[in-house]
């Protein structure tokens, strides 16, 4: 879940810099989600169910996001170097 969520946030964060709007942005995100779900051997339904579970368990969600932030920070550091 941590790796998938990290990549989901990267996809979502990449829409604005590319100046995609409306249907183009939606299609870009959906295509990337489809790719990520295949990569992580999951489905949109499974992802939504997991997300719903973690929303109901905020302490677990907080731990996941701490690791996601670590992943993103590490990526940022690697890019800067």
CB-CB neighbours of 27 under 10 Å = 11
pLDDT score for 2? 94
Structure tokens at 68: 């996601």
pLDDT score for 18? 67
Alpha-carbon span 53 to 60, nearest angstrom: 10
pLDDT score for 43? 96
pLDDT score for 56? 97
pLDDT by position in tens, the chain (length 81): 999 999 999 998 887 766 666 788 888 899 999 999 999 999 999 999 999 999 999 999 999 999 999 999 999 999 998
């Amino acid at each position: 879940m941590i790796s998938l969520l990290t990549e989901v946030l990267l996809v979502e964060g990449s829409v604005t810099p590319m100046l995609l709007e409306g249907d183009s942005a939606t299609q870009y995100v959906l295509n990337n989600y489809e790719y990520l779900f295949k990569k992580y051997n999951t489905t949109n339904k499974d992802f939504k169910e997991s997300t719903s579970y973690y929303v109901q368990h905020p302490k677990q969600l907080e731990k996941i996001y701490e690791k996601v932030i670590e992943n993103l920070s590490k990526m940022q550091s690697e890019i800067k170097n």
